[in-house]
Amino acid sequence: MKKLLLTLLLLIPVRVFAIETNGISNVLIDTSTKTILSENEKDKELPMASMTKMMTLLLVMERLEDNKISLDDMVLITKNASSMGGSQVYLEEGQSYKLETLIKSVAIASANDVAVTEKQ
């Protein structure tokens, strides 16, 4: 009986209301309808968030697991990477660092400049 009631409750359409936040910039999207429910300065450029760095680490770990890259690979630091704001380890443009070192910099120091580097 409980399962039947739960199933019926899940079938009742519910209107979703936008959530107010105190964030500088945000976008809330209903992914099933691709409808923007709320937005605030969605195009404002900001230093990357920790979730971006976590996703960068996830992609790196997946490529390490697939043997597409190695911890010994050298990574070239671009002008864009060296000019990142926010938390950083102050990488120098044109320098190359081992991927292993850069992973530690992102994971431990939450370095924005590391998260936008390119494989050499």
Known catalytic residues are 50, 53, 110
Encoded tokens for 75: 């990574």
Q: Which amino acid is at 12?
A: I
Q: How far apart are the first and last CA of the chain?
A: 61
Cβ atoms 106, 115 nearer than 8 A: yes
